[in-house]
Every structure is written in C-alpha cells, then in structure tokens.
Amino acid sequence: MIYLLIVSIISFGLTTEETVNQAVTNTNDAVSNTTGAVDNTLFGENDGIMLGDEVPETVVFNEIILDPNTSQSGEFEESASDVIKTSSGDYVVVGTSISWEWPMPDNMDDILIVKIDGTSGKVIWNKKIHHRNFDRGTSIVEGNDGNYVITGFTSSDDANKSDVFFGKIDPQGNVLIKKAIKITNKYDGGYSISKTSDGGFVIGGEAGHSHNEDFMILKVDQNGNKKWSKRFSDHPDNSAYDAIEASDGSFYLVGSKRIVNKLDDIRIIKTNSKGKKIWDKTYGGDKDDIGEAIIESGNNTFVVVAGTFSYGTSGDVMLLKIDSNGAVIWQNNYGGDKLDQLREYDGNSVSGRHMTKTPNGGFLVSGYSSSFGGMWVFKTNSLGTLLWNYSNTNLGGAFAARQWVDGSVIIAGPGSSGDTGDLFVLKIK
C-alpha cells in the first residue's frame, strides 16, 4: 500500500525567504501531527496507480522508441525532454540519443526527434539531428508557420565549450535549419524555448564556464537569428531552466542560484522587453531548492514548479505562485515519505518540461516518485489543490506531460532497460 503525504503551505503577501521559511515550518509541524488520518484505501496496487477525481483510467498507448539506427535496446540511451501536440493532431517528441559504442564515435550524442500518430501512437518518422559531436535536444515548440522549433546544446568536446542549438524541422521531418548560437566563448546552452508575440522565440539557458554558468536569456527571430541576449552573473553555478514572455511583454526566467554557505535556491528574474533586469529574487530554505519551469496563470500572476529538499519529507515537488513583483501568493508541496523529484540533480541530467498548463487552468507536473514508484504525473487545479496522481513502476521518470481538452494526457521520458534507458511515450485518458 502506498502512503501519500501532501504538504500544503499557503502564505499570502510574502516577500522574504525568512517569512516563507517560517510559514513552511509551521505548516509542516501541523501536517506531521495529522498524517495518521490519510485514507490509504484511495490507492491501488497495480502498475498504474491513480487516485482523486478526474483520474485518467485508460492507457491509450504505451510506445517504446529506440534510436533509428538500431532495432534492439541497449546500443543507445534514448531519452525525451519535451513533447507537444501539433496542429495536425499528432505528437512530436524531442530528446537525445547517446551512443554506447566504444571507442566513442564522432556523433556520441545526437538530438532525437520523433513524430507519432496521435491516435495509435505508431511512429510516423524517427530522425536524428547531428551538428557536432555532442548535440542534445531539450525543448520544442510548434512555430506559427507549422514547423517544429527546438533548442538544446551543441558541442565538439562536451567539456569546456558549447553553444546554444537552434533547429527547425518541417512536418515531414526535413531539417530546415540547424545552427549553433554563440553567447560566450565558453559553455552555453538552451534549456527551454517558447514563442513570443513578434513571431520569434525566447530561449532560457546558461552561459559561461562549465559548472560556473550564468543565467542566460536569448531572443531570436523565427529563423534563429540572434536579436539580443543577456547574462546575469552572480555566484557560481547559475542556470535558467525556463524563460517565457508575459502578456505585458516582459520576460521571466526561473532556475537555480548557488548561495554562499548554502546549496541552491530557486531564482526568478523579471526583465523588460529588451532583457533589462527589473527584479531578481531567490526563494528557498536551508537545502537545495531548484526552479524548473514558470507559467503565467492569469491576472499577471505566475506559477513556478521546483524540486525542494528544504520543505516536505526526503525531497518533494513544490508549486510556488507569485505576483508580478515576485511576492509569494501561495506555496504547496507534493509527495510522499520518500524521495519524490522532478529529475536527478546529479549535474548530468538535462532539465525537461516538468510543468504545463491544462486546458481548464490547472497545472500538470511530471517527475519521478520513490513514494509511489517510478514515473509520476500529477494534476492540480488553478489554486494548487491536488486533483489526481498517476504513477507507473515500469517506466522511468516523466520529463514532460501535457493534457488536452478531451482529458487525454501525453507523457514522455526515459524508460527502464537495465543500464540504458529507452524513450517512452505514454498516452492516458
């Protein structure tokens, strides 16, 4: 029987870490005294464990996708970072395929992009994009022209030098554009890409020395031509895992910031339409707290998803709602009595798209749960109230999940196949 603990922390008008921390401490103390009242009969014991209302009850398809150059698992490590539903009703997944060949080939890592049928889940086409020796796909969006646009990292040595990758692929899988965008002469890369009101794109990522990076925001036109970029230098090890344009034309970046004598804190930066900093704030406790994604949620407010080790039990997931000045409106934790996380924070795992907005204004979060077992996706309403959990012990962590108006959910990530992982795409409804 699986044991669930949901920690809800509501704090209004908070603007400092100390105030947030006190609210979390008080709420955690209160929750710890009532955990015995949790109804364990809500939980099933099959591979796909579900609870709450609006629960997906049917597996529509579950496809394992390999590198196009192999027919057996184990020769490559394939993983997904993002998945979208296209205007034609099909799905496109982007990620990375890593060769296990020895000696290492020239194309050790390639960007993997796969289009699958929206009804059956069967592969329509499966392509790799090779630009340099190490290419990794992290995020994808469908452009206004119907083509698919991706970002990531491209490097010749994967050690001290990397650039932001920009690629454009048409609906038939033909590569129209692939290029490296230089920010510095050191280690640069893109973690997220989203559309902007002028028809171009904004990319969030990192720039600087490897393992000593700065927050980075990059604005490009529809063909990946650089319009401007900004770096926000501070303490070592700063990375922006998401960047969006808000409805008022400003930009928001979220990620992590190394704090002196501490570990990582959530960092959020707001800029004007040209990337000039308006404010820069951190949120968190005395352990690692890492922001992964940000979404505008209406009325000029924003919701951030983060992995937290400061709050909850043994590692949880946190949703944090802020206003346009960065003041905390509410903060909720989600997880059980074991390690529950968005991804591995081992310095090697690439961030995925771990939170998306649902058609009815809620939030869909994807990750990995030791409490529930394996792949983990949960949905909340617009207030952060948990609606349902879904997990599957046979699959690895979920790096991206999206829901559509018919209630169906598409989930993508790395699977489980011994020492290597195979990319999976799961549709539930």
Residue 157's pLDDT is: 79
Question: How many Å from the N-terminal Cα to the C-terminal Cα in the chain?
Answer: 24
Q: How is residue 50 written in tokens?
A: 């579900």
pLDDT of 45 strictly over 50: no
Q: Tell me which of 171 and 39 has the higher pLDDT.
A: 171
- CA-to-CA dists, residue 29 to 26, 92, 223, 278, angstroms: 5, 44, 52, 36
Closest CA to 87 of 237, 195, 236: 195
Q: How is residue 428 written in tokens?
A: 């539930």
Taking all residues of the chain, what is their mean pLDDT, rounded to a whole number? 83
Q: With cut-offs at 50, 70 and 90, classify the pLDDT of residue 344.
A: confident
Residue 351's pLDDT is: 64
* 251-267: pLDDT as tens digits: 999 998 877 666 889 99
Q: Write the DSSP assignment of 19-51 as a string of letters.
A: HHHHHHHHHHHHHHTTGGG--GGG---SSEEEE
Choose the weakest-confidence range: 147-161, 344-358, 403-417.
Answer: 344-358
- CA-to-CA dists, residue 162 to 37, 108, 294, 350, angstroms: 52, 15, 25, 14
Domains of the chain in sequence order:
4-428 (2.130.10.10)
High-pLDDT (> 70) share of the chain, %? 81
Residue 4's pLDDT is: 37
Q: Write the DSSP assignment of 390-409 as a string of letters.
A: EEETTS----EEEE-TTS-E
* Integer Cα distance of 2 and 139 in angstroms: 33
The secondary structure of residue 35, as a DSSP letter, is G
* 97-128: pLDDT as tens digits: 988 777 766 678 999 999 999 999 999 999 99
Q: What average pLDDT does range 70-78 have in this prediction?
A: 84
Half-sphere exposure of 152 (CA within 13 A, CB side): 35
pLDDT of 330 strictly over 50: yes
- CA-to-CA dists, residue 283 to 241, 288, 366, angstroms: 15, 11, 21
Work out whether the CA dihedral 171, 404, 299, 388 comes out positive or negative. negative
Residue 51's pLDDT is: 34
**What pTM, to 2 d.p., does this model score?**
0.85
Q: How is residue 333 written in tokens?
A: 């934790």
* Integer Cα distance of 310 and 269 in angstroms: 21
The secondary structure of residue 187, as a DSSP letter, is B
Q: With cut-offs at 50, 70 and 90, classify the pLDDT of residue 219.
A: very high
Compute the residue count for the chain: 429
Q: What average pLDDT does range 361-374 have in this prediction?
A: 93
Return the SS3 of 15. Answer: coil
Residue 100's pLDDT is: 78
Q: How open is the CA angle 357-362-339, to the nearest 5 degrees?
A: 85
Backbone angles phi, psi at 23, to 5 degrees: -65, -40
Other CB atoms within 10 A of residue 7 CB:
22
Backbone angles phi, psi at 163, to 5 degrees: -130, 165
Residue 239's pLDDT is: 87
The amino acid at residue 404 is W
* Integer Cα distance of 38 and 33 in angstroms: 11
Q: With cut-offs at 50, 70 and 90, classify the pLDDT of residue 427.
A: very high
Residue 31's pLDDT is: 30
Q: How is residue 267 written in tokens?
A: 């960092």
* 3-18: pLDDT as tens digits: 333 333 333 333 334 4
Q: With cut-offs at 50, 70 and 90, classify the pLDDT of residue 211.
A: low
Q: With cut-offs at 50, 70 and 90, classify the pLDDT of residue 394.
A: confident
Q: Write the DSSP assignment of 141-173 as a string of letters.
A: EE-TTS-EEEEEEEESSSSS-BEEEEEEE-TTS
Q: With cut-offs at 50, 70 and 90, classify the pLDDT of residue 416.
A: low
